[in-house]
Amino acid sequence: MTSSLTQSDKRGVAGDRVFSALTVSAGVLILLTLAFVALFLTVNSRDAVYQEDQGGWILTAFFDYAYPLVIGTLIASFIALILAAPVAVGVALYISHYAPPRFSKGIGYVIDLLAAIPSVVYGAWGMSFLGPALIPVYGWLHENLGFIPLFAGDPSQTGRTIFTAGVVLGVMILPIITSVCREIFIQTPKLHEEAALALGATRWEMIKMSVFPFARAGIISGIMLGLGRALGETMAVALVLSPGMLTASLISSGNSTIPAEIALGFPEAPPGSERQAQLIAIGLVLFLITLLVNMTARWIVSRHKEFSGAN
């Protein structure tokens, strides 16, 4: 039976189906890719934790190998975040709320340009310029604050320390965090900004009252994106850092990060060997750390949903 209700716009329906199929397949594709990466890492890292001729499971051996690298990775990324996040939020605020409109576009482009520089260039800069430039700073820190374990130990003579690597990473993640924050800051509803101003808020108070609360989730997302890059950055760290044993000191040579370890070790590891499996296994560990970081970020963002202004 056909009535005016059972007929429909055929072309419209077909378009709707095609588009829905496209989005679904895009979503499935990204999940599949991720699943395959996880599978590849898991399967190939088996030899790192299980060896027949060494009596089965060798988890302790792997743990002893992996934990200094995990800690090194976290330290370098943490230094990068501490340095970059406040600067990035400040730069983004300057662009969105303080700079005269004529300049703000230009500054935005320059910041975005920073993101386009290849990481090997950052590495070279860190190794040959920033490292040596920081040597006197390390010397000073050691002399005056040497009682803190972070600044104990012999200061590096080349400047190629985990701290230098952290600084280089900080510069590298600055543009990502800045871009995300800037986009969010600009989107703050005028209505909320004017609500604060009309109550007698200065510009900074207005930013505290309406811009930051509105942008909170975006700032966290930006920082997490930056952290993701810092955790996974390979080339710059591999060039800057002269790797070594785990040490609490930030200013002496030593420490290494997972990506740098993989990049430096992989070319020398025979295919199929235990060493290669070991490198893939720490890759899996890095994968899990990143996953954990992102999930934590989501959780933080979703905690105050009710107050987010989205309702």
Partner 1 sequence: MSKRVDVVDLNVYYGDFLAVEGVNMNIDAQAVTAFIGPSGCGKTTLLRSLNRMHEVLPGARVKGQLLLDGEDIYESGVDPVTVRTQVGMVFQRPNPFPTMTIRENVLAGYKLNGARLSKSQSEEIVETSLRSANLWNEVKDRLDRPGSGLSGGQQQRLCIARTIAVKPDVILMDEPCSALDPISTLAIEDLIGELQQDYTVIIVTHNMQQAARVSQKTAFFNIAGTGKPGKLIEYDDTTSIFNTPQEKSTEDYVSGRFG
Residues that bind partner 1 (CB under 8 A): 101, 189, 191-192, 194-202, 205, 209-210, 213-214, 216, 304, 306-309, 311
HSE toward the beta carbon, residue 290, CA cutoff 13 A? 19
If the CB atoms of residues 51 and 104 are measured against partner 1, the closer one turns out to be: 104
CA–CA dist 35, 26 (Å, integer)? 14
Q: How near is the Cβ of 199 to partner 1 at its closest, in Å? A: 5
Cβ pair 62, 285 in contact under 8 A? no
If the CB atoms of residues 268 and 306 are measured against partner 1, the closer one turns out to be: 306
DSSP assignment letter at 213:
H
Using DSSP's 3-state secondary structure scheme, residue 248 falls into: coil
If the CB atoms of residues 36 and 103 are measured against partner 1, the closer one turns out to be: 103
Q: How near is the Cβ of 135 to partner 1 at its closest, in Å? A: 46
Q: How near is the Cβ of 191 to partner 1 at its closest, in Å? A: 4
If the CB atoms of residues 101 and 271 are measured against partner 1, the closer one turns out to be: 101
State the Cα angle at 161 between 180 and 288, rounded to 5°. 50
Q: How near is the Cβ of 222 to partner 1 at its closest, in Å? A: 18
Q: How near is the Cβ of 89 to partner 1 at its closest, in Å? A: 17
If the CB atoms of residues 17 and 203 are measured against partner 1, the closer one turns out to be: 203
Exposed, middle or buried: residue 231 (CB in 10 Å: 0-12, 13-18, 19+)? buried
The H-assigned helical ranges of 159-202 are 162-186, 190-198
> Which is nearest to 241 in space by CA: 79, 81, 62, 113?
79
